[in-house]
Amino acid sequence: MITLIFTHLKRRAINYIAVCVELIVVVLVCNILLSHLVPFIQGQQLYKSLKLSSILCCTTSAESDALDIIAREVDAKILWRNYRGQYALSDESLFIQPVEKSYLHRFDLVPDEQISAGPIAVVASSLTSRYKSGNTYTVALQYPIGEITFSVALSTDNDLLFIPPSGDAALSVIGRHPNTVLLALDDDDLAKFDASDVYTLEAKDNDAQRVTEILSWNEKIIAAMSCEDAQSYSNSLDMSQMGMPIVISLTAVALCLAGMLSNTLLSIIANERNNAIYYICGYTWKKCALVQFISDLLIVFFSVVMAYAVMQILSKTSGNITFQQTSFLLSVAIVAVIFTLAEILGVIQIAKKNVAEIAERMK
């Protein structure tokens, strides 16, 4: 049986590559889907925790005077939002976005003389009361990073665009997201971070949530609205943003799934003929099914390993691609479901055998 399985595997080398490519595509698509869905779900959870009767106050202002007025006059919760759509309920929370230091130089984001050795930070001018330009600070970040010391290179009120090393399509606009600190790191320090993530100060980590889109356009203040209205408004914004990526992603997933299924069905048809030959030469149908099952299982296993290895290599060699573990697991689960369906189909085909079919398969 081992010889047969080995022969079977040698014959179907192309299947490894096909499943591997399809798996990588599904992982990438899941990455995109999750990046939209996770903040959305977190937002829904936050609304739930805030209760619908709460009044929310949304603002783009970072000025403490304006915020004091809001807190005093409106008696509402103030929510802080970073460029990834995460929110904090306290102005003491910081969103720390790691970025490769060379980007600052490459895109002329920070003057060269400000780019010193060690981690450097770019902060919104609203944070200058806490983080002064030229000074060095040590902050404790959430697990597993621990403490990190950085010097503040620049504070800015302007939109500061950068491309994160993860290749994330989003562009950070530090000026509009006053609690976000752009932390520029050398490669060694950057390795400690998952570049696609945003980190918050340890003590305030629980507050980082998404709630709504910015409601006022040019004014600093202000929209106070019920939580219910905010949720409805936020949902409509989310849907308008998520619609196209989700349609494209689902189409890509559907195409990949169709590819995987057709690949598997073709292999079932090829197996039918081989099984008929094995049967005629003295194998039982049960053993035919066993050879098929073990071979297919090994093909899926090797394909998953190959896909994982390729993704690791891509992540390491190209700073623009980051694969989330969840996406990978989700994709493997999809492959597992397809594999199970295919095997059930295969077994049904084998179980339906009769002499006329055997003869037909030999042609």
Partner 1 sequence: MALVSLAELEKTYNKGTSAAVHALQGVSLSIESGEMTAVVGTSGSGKSTLLHILSCLDQNFEGQYTFDGTDIKKLSAKQLSALRNEKIGIVLQNFGLIYDMTVFDNVVLPIYLSGKHYSKRELHQRVIQLLQELGLEEKINTKASQLSGGQKQRIAIARALINNPSLILADEPTGALDKSTSNDIMDIFCSLNSAGRTIIIVTHDLSIAARCSRTITISDGKII
Which residues contribute to the site for partner 1 (CB under 8 A)? 1, 3-4, 7, 11, 274, 276-287, 355, 358-359, 362-363
> Residue 154 and residue 132: Cα distance in Å, rounded?
9
- Considering beta carbons, is residue 203 or 280 the nearer one to partner 1? 280
Q: What is the dihedral of CA 158, 160, 161, 167, to 10 degrees?
A: -150
- Considering beta carbons, is residue 316 or 363 the nearer one to partner 1? 363
Minimum distance of partner 1 from residue 260's CB (angstroms): 22
- Considering beta carbons, is residue 117 or 356 the nearer one to partner 1? 356
Structure-token pair, residue 254: 């559907």
- Considering beta carbons, is residue 352 or 363 the nearer one to partner 1? 363
Structure-token pair, residue 218: 């040019």
Residue 59 phi, psi dihedral angles, 5° rounding: -150, 155
Q: CA 289 → CA 9, 262, 355, distances in Å? A: 15, 19, 17
Minimum distance of partner 1 from residue 358's CB (angstroms): 6
Minimum distance of partner 1 from residue 268's CB (angstroms): 16
Minimum distance of partner 1 from residue 347's CB (angstroms): 16
- Considering beta carbons, is residue 156 or 274 the nearer one to partner 1? 274
Structure-token pair, residue 182: 């752009």
Minimum distance of partner 1 from residue 335's CB (angstroms): 25
Structure-token pair, residue 49: 């925790």
The helix/strand count (H/E) of the chain reads as 9, 11
Helix axes 285-317, 227-280, angle to 10 degrees: 130
> Residue 42 and residue 231: Cα distance in Å, rounded?
12
